[in-house]
Amino acid sequence: MNNDYDYDAIIIGTGPGGEGTAMELSKKEKRVAIVERYKDVGGGCTHWGTIPSKALRQSVSRLIEYNASPLFRGHEKAKHLTFPAILKHASSVIRKQVQLRSGFYDRNRVELISGEASFIDAHTLRIINNDGAVEQITAKQIVIATGSHPYRPKDIDFNHPRVYDSDTILSLKHDPRSIIIYGAGVIGSEYASIFRGLGVKVDLINTRDRLLSFLDAEMSDSLSYHLWNNGVVIRHGEAIARVEASDDSVVVHLESGKKMRADCLLFANGRTGNTADLKVENAGLSADGRGQLKVNDQYQTNVDNIYAVGDVIGYPSLASAAYDQGRLAASAMIDHQSTAKLIADIPTGIYTIPEISSVGKTEQELTAAKIPYEVGRAQFKHLARAQISNSLVGSLKILFHSETKEILGIHCFGENAAEIIHIGQAIMQQTNGGNTIEYFVNTTFNYPTMAEAFRVAALNGLNRLF
């Protein structure tokens, strides 16, 4: 170690990106510290985003299943759970995650520093500890893994007890009968499913002309139909003009002249990188208008010894990718010749009810690129396992090259889609001719399983070839 510095590396933020970096550096015998301003480790992923919203969704899914099951019908009236009641399950999951992740730092001798970090220069950080004490620490290399927070326009009063963003919604204390969700991206769509599953009247305002337009159009249409069929009102191509919040309701005025009223508003339109308090300019860096930092393909910023990973660098803003970015950044920090990259086809998991997952190209991308492809489909309602578990909504779609039979994209809508997708992903990653749809026909799957959808879809697609 260079004795001029306190540490070889300091990482700011203990979300997946920071954790991935810290673990990899410590395994390579580096002296590492990690700074966290919140009372517990885990970052937004553990405390406000991925983990709590998926735990909420799990409880709501089971509630829907219970109320829909013919087994329980007629025995008692439909159960009603309140939002605060199902949050209890989420907090027990968060506690377990924090315990697990704290253990990683202990075991790997990574020093955990509690406090708020800001730059003094490119090698020096000022830390304001949680008790108000101030210290300075130095490192040869610094990694910014501070994540992101919900975007809050200045003209909306987020301190009002009926106005929420995707962080503060987790402290919702009352049991709303109606909610307006502004922003129909991944977070807005997930919460629309959750609240609708609890029997809340949901208005979903989409600033674009279709839901989740990065998805394959059929997946996007399936979600739209399913939300619509369950009573969610979706308004496309709208923008908020102003919000009027009073003691008993929220009225949202749209630029199109419409106005809507509900018990509360969830504003879920955009996120901003957490760089405002870091004083990155002292290190020679500058964030863009969305609070994000630019990096090269080794996650290095324009200041040689400073790296950045996770939501603070923007796309793909996924917990899974952030962890891998952290590991790759650590390798690059140790060996500047490192050429390891994120996989090209990162799977997307969207935890609506039912969930959506995809990997590879969409039909629209393949058509635009003039790549000849064929489609293989399996509908869940025809699978024995789906019939047994009564998860009949959904389908699996495989897109493959008409001539080489190489798998080009896989899209799944339905319960456990994010798990099912991995089987296809594993085959897509095979090289030297190993990636072919024939695999699913020549392999014997467990029966009855959801994985069997791959065999059904592959047969369906191959039957279309002539």
72/35 same-domain check? yes
pLDDT at 74: 63
Residue 348 maps to a domain: no
Known binding residue 20? Answer is: no
Residue 174 neighbours by CB distance under 10 Å? 12
The stretch 328-340 carries a mean pLDDT of 89
Residue 339 maps to a domain: no
User: Is pLDDT of 134 > 70?
Assistant: yes
Known binding residue 270? Answer is: yes
Determine phi and psi for 38, rounding to 5 degrees: -85, 165
Nearest by Cα to 104 from 25, 1, 8: 25
100/143 same-domain check? yes
Known binding residue 49? Answer is: no
Known binding residue 190? Answer is: yes
Known binding residue 146? Answer is: yes
Known binding residue 74? Answer is: no
- Please identify, among 218, 247, 269, the residue that sits at the C-terminal boundary of a domain: 269
pLDDT at 336: 80
Burial class of residue 315 (count of CB atoms within 10 Å of its CB; 0-12, 13-18, 19+) = exposed
143/217 same-domain check? no
Compute the half-sphere exposure of residue 167: CA atoms within 13 Å on the CB side of its CA.
14
Known binding residue 183? Answer is: yes
The stretch 29-46 carries a mean pLDDT of 96
182/248 same-domain check? yes
Sign of the C-alpha dihedral computed for residues 182, 187, 189 and 193 taken in this order: negative
Ranking 249-253, 265-269, 332-336 by mean pLDDT, the lowest is: 332-336
Known binding residue 461? Answer is: no
Of the pLDDT bands very low, low, confident and very high (cuts 50, 70, 90), residue 1 is: very low
pLDDT at 384: 97
Residue 346 maps to a domain: no
Determine phi and psi for 456, rounding to 5 degrees: -60, -45
- Please identify, among 304, 334, 364, the residue that sits at the C-terminal boundary of a domain: 334
How far apart are alpha carbons 33 and 37 in whole angstroms? 13
Residue 358 maps to a domain: yes
- Please identify, among 252, 269, 286, the residue that sits at the C-terminal boundary of a domain: 269
User: Is pLDDT of 70 > 80?
Assistant: no
144/176 same-domain check? no
Residue 340 maps to a domain: no
Determine phi and psi for 360, rounding to 5 degrees: 90, -160
Known binding residue 185? Answer is: yes
84/224 same-domain check? no
pLDDT at 86: 87
Q: What is the pLDDT of residues 172-222, one digit of tens each?
A: 988 999 999 999 999 999 999 999 999 999 999 999 999 999 999 999 999
Known binding residue 188? Answer is: yes
Structure tokens at 178: 């109606």
pLDDT at 367: 98
Higher pLDDT: 87 or 374? It is 374
208/90 same-domain check? no
202/236 same-domain check? yes
Beta strands in 315-430 (DSSP E): 348-350, 356-360, 373-379, 394-401, 407-414
Question: Domain range spanning residue 446?
Answer: 354-462
Q: How many domains does the chain have?
A: 3
How far apart are alpha carbons 375 and 460 in whole angstroms? 8
Known binding residue 44? Answer is: yes
User: Is pLDDT of 116 > 80?
Assistant: yes
Known binding residue 310? Answer is: no
How far apart are alpha carbons 310 and 287 in whole angstroms? 14
Known binding residue 45? Answer is: yes
CATH of the domain at 36: 3.50.50.60
Beta strands in 122-214 (DSSP E): 124-129, 134-144, 148-150, 163-165, 178-182, 201-205
324/389 same-domain check? no
Share of the chain above pLDDT 90, in %: 88
Residues ≥6 apart with Cβ < 8 Å to 243 = 155, 156, 157, 163, 250, 251, 252, 253, 265
Residue 12 maps to a domain: yes
User: Is pLDDT of 48 > 60?
Assistant: yes
pLDDT at 76: 65
CATH of the domain at 385: 3.30.390.30
Residue 38 maps to a domain: yes
Known binding residue 303? Answer is: no
67/32 same-domain check? yes
Q: What is the pLDDT of residues 74-104, one digit of tens each?
A: 666 667 788 888 888 899 999 999 999 999 9
Known binding residue 395? Answer is: no
27/73 same-domain check? yes
Q: How do beta strands 124-129 and 134-144 pair?
A: antiparallel
pLDDT at 107: 96
Beta strands in 387-439 (DSSP E): 394-401, 407-414
72/209 same-domain check? no
Known binding residue 186? Answer is: yes
How far apart are alpha carbons 224 and 219 in whole angstroms? 9
Structure tokens at 346: 């990162």
Known binding residue 147? Answer is: yes
User: Is pLDDT of 279 > 80?
Assistant: yes
Q: What is the pLDDT of residues 215-245, one digit of tens each?
A: 999 999 999 999 999 999 999 999 999 999 9
Residue 155 maps to a domain: no
Q: Where is 12: in which H helix or E strand?
A: strand 7-12
- Judged by DSSP in three states, 455 sits in helix
Known binding residue 59? Answer is: no
Burial class of residue 107 (count of CB atoms within 10 Å of its CB; 0-12, 13-18, 19+) = exposed
